[in-house]
Structure 1
Amino acid sequence: MLKPVVTFYERFLRRRIPSILMAYLTAVVPLTAILFFFFNQARILFRDLPSVSQRVSEVTNRWMFLLDQKFNLDPETSSDWVSENMMGVVDIPLELARESFESGTVVLANAVLIVLITYFMLLYRTSFKNYLLSQASPKNRKSLEKLFLKLQSLTKRYMIGQGIIILILGILIGSGLWLIGVPYAYFWGFLAGFLEIIPYLGTSVGGILPFVYMLMVSDSLWQPWAVIGLYILVQQIEGNLISPNVMGPSIKINPLFIILGLFLGGIMWGIAGMILALPVLAISKEVFRTFEVTEPFSYILEDGLSKKSDIFLEHYDHVKHRIMYLFFDERDD
């Protein structure tokens, strides 16, 4: 993903190692600004947690008082139940959040490892490319080089597209939350934008967090539900208008394989694996489409599979498109 940046610096510096270091510096500056924004907002949010817990107690007691009046419940019993159970429920997500921030050393160690791996991949990329080209016959090397360029373009488009989508979603959701009256509106908005990188799961979490927060701190019920309505509206706009125009059709993947990719990526590499699931699937689809034997499988990975159910028997019912041909000497009767 840093290769285009490294290539840009190589035009001026002429040497690979300084170009790689400059590429890292280019990536670190905006990343540091983003992390500073989130950690600063999170610090303020956690500083207010004691008052939030007190606020939850007040709001819950008020609602229990209304329920006592409506259903003729015993006020003393209801109050005891609230004090024994509700505050414990509130403390669970707060404790989980604190533990998540305490695991920052593990995240930092993984980040250092990723930096080292990408450094050597960028340093040796020409050797890797030439090795792969040597495995193809001379007549197929041009097609393989085209595949490399296509994958590079796909990765670049995905990275730029995700950046644009995060910016748009952060502004849209943050502005909407600000109008609703949600504290730390743009923190929640851009957090949802970044979580959108993880399909389905990240989107849901991005909406649930401010909803739960507003349930705890808001005097009225309309604000939490307005938050949910805002997220549903923005997700419809993002799914039907923003992503198709920003990302293009090459990133559209079958939802079944997205879910499987998230599951397997999460098992193998945790959050990083879930983030990489979609681009890896998109790259795999392009690789499969390049070779005759795997070309049909690229349509299995593509979105809208139910509308293309006849394509396999109509266009790919031939021995050269059968994966089993790699293992057995099949012949058409």
Structure 2
Amino acid sequence: MKPDPDQIISITTGTIIRTLMVIGAVALAYFLRDLIVVLLASVVIASAAEPFTRSLMKWRFPRLLAVVLIYVVAVFGLSAMLYFFIPPLFIELSSLANTLPGSFDSFNLFDPNLDPLSAITGGLVSSISLKEIITEIQKAIISESGGLFAATGTFFGGAASLILIIVLSFYLSVQEDGVGDFLRLVTPVSHEKYVTGLWARSREKIGQWMKGQLLLGLIIGVLVYLGLSLLGVKYALVLAVLAAVMELIPFFGPVISAVPAVLLGFSDSLILGLLVLGFYIVVQQFENHLIYPLVVRKIVGIPPIIVIIVLFIGARLAGILGMLLAVPLATIVMELASDYQKKKHIFRETDNG
């Protein structure tokens, strides 16, 4: 009985070599993962600086001077924030961690006299200790705030990695098309035009996304700080920073940032708690229907559910830095997928024709 030709598996020397090369490339990428993350971070920062560089160049600034000015302003701004903003922030954070559980000692969320459902639940809900929950949150906050200096050292993988990121991103920003030149160096000639074109489109979206995300966090942070300050909620600065940072996570981020503010409001009075809850709902609606569609969704075009998935993957693989790199990398993948779909559509039309 002759074997079916369709069932014959042909393994050539070329196939074996290509397989070994792929395995070797994956292994090399794993061992050099820290360096790859540094390189990706440098590319993202350079891409984020590109729109600002172009804006200054329109005002007759030489590219080198424009990049230097941008980096000086960025470094000065971060230094000023660390000097003037971070100390009071962590003073409030430490105070919040120490006083938050005590503020709920006299706050019984499930008081049978106030809860008409207690007769139905049979006291099951009353067994939930809100104080214990807040105590666990306190432990987490103290752990994070106590490790501030350690976190600063490990945020970018250490001081050496941080310096390397700054130097590489500066070099890529100074070069007119630094990343493009690198891609031309490592890409086969047959794919060079497509790869550089893909990067040019992705770089534009990454830069616009970074600008949009910073603007979104700034707007929400300022709104939350002003609103909570007017309502008289304690620790408005900490809660505003939390709201700004959690904007990185669609849907769940704003909800998570609202929980401690609402709890603090209810711990003071029922009226204040309802006002804080209503305020966060208004801010959320304002963001969903106006800010986010204008500054993020239309620029990048990535569905929010994809953003959530890639953020969790990035956090799992590389921590905070992985989260920051997740959406820019997803932008490149989405551009690649879009090109693939277009090619499939053209192939089908050609085949049918």
The answer as to 2:171 corresponding to 1:123 is yes
Letter in 1 for 2:153: L
TM, length-normalised to structure 2: 0.65
Q: How does 1:1-333 map to 2 (within 5 A)?
A: 1-2=45-46, 3-4=49-50, 12=62, 23-35=70-82, 36-47=84-95, 49-60=97-108, 66=113, 87-104=131-148, 105-111=150-156, 112=159, 113-123=161-171, 128-133=179-184, 135=187, 137=189, 141=193, 145-215=196-266, 217-218=267-268, 220-247=269-296, 249-289=298-338, 291=339, 294-296=340-342, 315=345, 318=348
d(CA) in 2 for partners of 1:27, 1:184: 27
Q: Distance in 2 between matches of 1:129 and 1:244?
A: 30
The Cα offsets for residues 245-295 of structure 1, whole Å up to 9 and x where unpaired, read as 233623231233223212211210123322332232223323443x4xx23
Read off the aligned partner of 1:168 and give its amino acid letter.
I
Change (3 A) 1:103 1:32: same
For 1:323, the equivalent position in structure 2 comes to none
CA drift of 1:193 comes to 2.0
The SS at the match of 1:59 is: coil
Which range moves more in the overlay, 175-184 or 117-126? 117-126
Partners of 2:289 and 2:219 lie apart in 1 by 14
Q: Tell me, in whole angstroms, the C-alpha distance in 1 between the residues paired with 2:188 and 2:142.
A: 52
Question: Please, what TM-score do these two structures have when normalized by structure 1?
Answer: 0.68
Aligned residue pair count: 286
- Alpha-carbon separation, structure 1, partners of 2:262 and 2:111: 20
CA contact (8 A) 1:161 1:246 kept: yes
The answer on whether the counterparts of 1:171 and 1:186 sit within 8 Å (CA) in structure 2 is: no
CA displacement at 1:212 relative to structure 2? 2.6
Displacement of 1:129 in angstroms is: 2.4
Deviations 1:42-90 (A, max 9, x none): 3134236544443321334x9759569x989xxxxxxxx89xx554443
Letter in 2 for 1:240: H
What is the RMSD computed on CA atoms of the aligned residues? Answer: 4.1
Gaps of at least 5 residues in structure 1 are 73-80, 298-311, 321-330
| CA 1:260–1:55: 2 relative to 1, 3 Å | closer
Cα pair distance change 1:20/1:140, threshold 3 Å: closer
**Quick one: distance in 2 between partners of 1:237 and 1:245?**
12
Aligned equivalents of 2:118 and 2:337: distance in 1? 63
- CA distance in structure 1 between the aligned counterparts of 2:191 and 2:311, rounded to whole angstroms: 38
Could you say if the C-alpha distance between residues 118 and 201 of structure 1 is closer, same or farther in structure 2, counting changes exceeding 3 Å? farther
Percent of residue pairs bearing the same amino acid type: 23
Q: Please give the alpha-carbon distance, in whole angstroms, between the structure 2 residues aligned to 1:254 and 1:49.
A: 36
1:121 shift after superposition: 4.9
Q: Which amino acid aligns with 2:77?
A: P
